């Protein structure tokens, strides 16, 4: 996980963002024929964003509504965070967690403007949902961790949920699933194991039905590594992205699987030295990845025409006057790409949305006042353009969803 903002020495129970992008409905199985990059219509992103009404825990809902946002100790004792949004049964589900104590959380909405908490979600202590995907049959599957063990939540209706913990790693180790994707072969998830000495090692799982999971095999670089995103390309290829080395000084890692996630091979490219890839989305027969520069002075993006060859993008839209800025999530809205994240500024930091017609050149979407003091962790491109995360930095952390309005 990654904390929002420049102060990263806080404990896990401080502000965090998850390394996962929102996932939309999985591929239908039809072979993609688009050559990437290719000219496509401009992204239909409006210049106005509506902050939704997101239900908070009772302790927060009962707090005075006119209390200052940026203050301490008047902020609520519980923070809420949205880390993934999926389309579900004609509406939407947002998933994430509360803390302290760390407990999985979910919200449901029919119109994206008002979100109610899902009281029936299993939420044991020390549980967090990092990412989710909607399967082809309409089932939602979310991944994360519970009690230090990789965990999967599954529901057909958003009300009745099954929580499954996967086989535990070795003695003294913990495991966290940070990403999940659906393909024609089933489901794949990735994340990392953390040893008793805090050494992270990338890990992969795959399932044909979302119920029974098998650990995948992978070429793992020496040293620290973790998976931060997974995408299915066409009908036969899976791409996983992540980090090799420390979260603050490491570089990008990319793995490729052509057997449904059973085995993974590492890819190499000079472009990976440009920074750390934190999210990925399919783009025809290729992929677009987003993240942050190696020196933390701006956002970073990568594109691949085939999932094997990668090039790093550049442009003014990725610059932040030498200050930290990071893309955390990326999605396609059918006409281009939308990324979401955070940047350092003169205040407490601000949420940022980017758009691109080709995954190469990126521009900032006009800011809204409600983005100040906010950080974005996920984006849903269709059927509506939504971004989610938390607002109220640095002292208040309240889950929030923003809905793009037609321009």
Per-domain residue ranges of the chain = 48-405
- pLDDT tier at 204 (50, 70, 90 boundaries)? very high
Closest CA to 332 of 22, 88, 103, 29: 22
**What pLDDT sits at residue 366?**
85
* DSSP-assigned beta bridge partners for residue 402: 51, 387
The percent of residues above 70 in pLDDT, for the chain, comes to: 84
Identify whether the C-beta of residue 239 lies closer than 8 Å to the C-beta of residue 307: yes
- pLDDT tier at 47 (50, 70, 90 boundaries)? low
The order of strands in the sheet holding 374-380 is 48-51, 398-405, 386-391, 374-380
Identify whether the C-beta of residue 186 lies closer than 8 Å to the C-beta of residue 206: yes
**What pLDDT sits at residue 347?**
82
16 pLDDT higher than 90: no
pLDDT tens-digit readout, 163-199: 999 999 988 999 999 999 999 899 999 999 999 999 9
267 pLDDT higher than 60: yes
301 is written with which tokens? 């993006």
Closest CA to 380 of 402, 364, 361, 400: 402
Place of tokens 């691109």: 356
**What pLDDT sits at residue 75?**
62
**What pLDDT sits at residue 60?**
61
91 pLDDT higher than 90: yes
Strands 337-343 and 398-405, by their bridges, are: unpaired
Fold category of 48-405 in CATH: Methylamine Dehydrogenase; Chain H (2.130.10)
- Of the listed ranges 42-56, 88-102, 158-172, 287-301, the one predicted with least confidence: 42-56
Average pLDDT, the chain: 85
**What pLDDT sits at residue 137?**
87
- What gap in Å lies between CA 175 and CA 384, rounded to an integer? 33
């Amino acid at each position: 996980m990654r904390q929002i903002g420049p102060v990263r020495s806080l404990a896990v129970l401080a502000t965090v963002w998850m390394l996962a992008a929102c996932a939309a409905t999985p591929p239908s199985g039809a072979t993609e024929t688009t050559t990437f990059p290719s000219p496509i219509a401009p992204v239909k992103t409006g210049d106005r964003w509506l902050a939704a009404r997101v239900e908070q825990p009772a302790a927060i809902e009962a707090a005075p509504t006119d209390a200052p946002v940026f203050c301490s100790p008047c902020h609520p004792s519980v923070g809420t965070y949205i880390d993934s949004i999926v389309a579900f049964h004609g509406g939407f589900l947002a998933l994430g967690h509360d803390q302290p104590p760390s407990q999985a959380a979910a919200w449901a909405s029919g119109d994206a403007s008002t979100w109610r908490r899902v009281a029936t979600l299993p939420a044991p202590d020390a549980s967090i949902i990092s990412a989710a995907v909607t399967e082809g049959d309409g089932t939602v599957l979310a991944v994360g961790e519970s009690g230090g063990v990789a965990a999967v939540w599954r529901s057909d209706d958003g009300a009745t949920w099954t929580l499954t913990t996967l086989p535990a790693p070795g003695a003294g180790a913990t495991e966290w699933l940070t990403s999940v994707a659906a393909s024609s072969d089933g489901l794949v998830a990735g994340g990392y194991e953390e040893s008793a000495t805090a050494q992270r090692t990338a890990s992969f799982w795959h399932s044909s039905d979302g119920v029974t999971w098998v650990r995948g095999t992978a070429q793992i670089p020496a040293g620290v590594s973790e998976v931060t995103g997974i995408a299915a390309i066409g009908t036969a290829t899976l791409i996983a992205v992540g980090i090799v080395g420390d979260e603050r000084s490491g570089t990008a890692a990319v793995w490729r699987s052509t057997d449904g996630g059973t085995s993974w091979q590492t890819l190499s490219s000079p472009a990976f030295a440009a920074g750390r890839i934190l999210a990925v989305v399919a783009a025809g027969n290729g992929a677009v990845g987003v993240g942050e520069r190696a020196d933390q002075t701006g956002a970073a993006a990568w594109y691949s025409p085939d999932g094997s060859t990668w090039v790093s993008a550049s442009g003014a839209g990725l610059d932040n006057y030498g200050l930290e800025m990071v893309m955390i999530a990326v999605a396609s809205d059918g006409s281009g790409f939308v990324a979401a994240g955070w940047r350092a500024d003169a205040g407490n930091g601000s949420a940022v949305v980017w758009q691109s017609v080709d995954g190469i050149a990126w521009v900032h979407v006009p800011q809204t006042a409600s983005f100040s003091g906010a950080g974005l962790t996920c984006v849903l491109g269709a059927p509506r353009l939504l971004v989610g995360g938390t607002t109220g930095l640095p002292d208040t952390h309240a889950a929030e969803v923003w809905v793009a309005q037609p321009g």
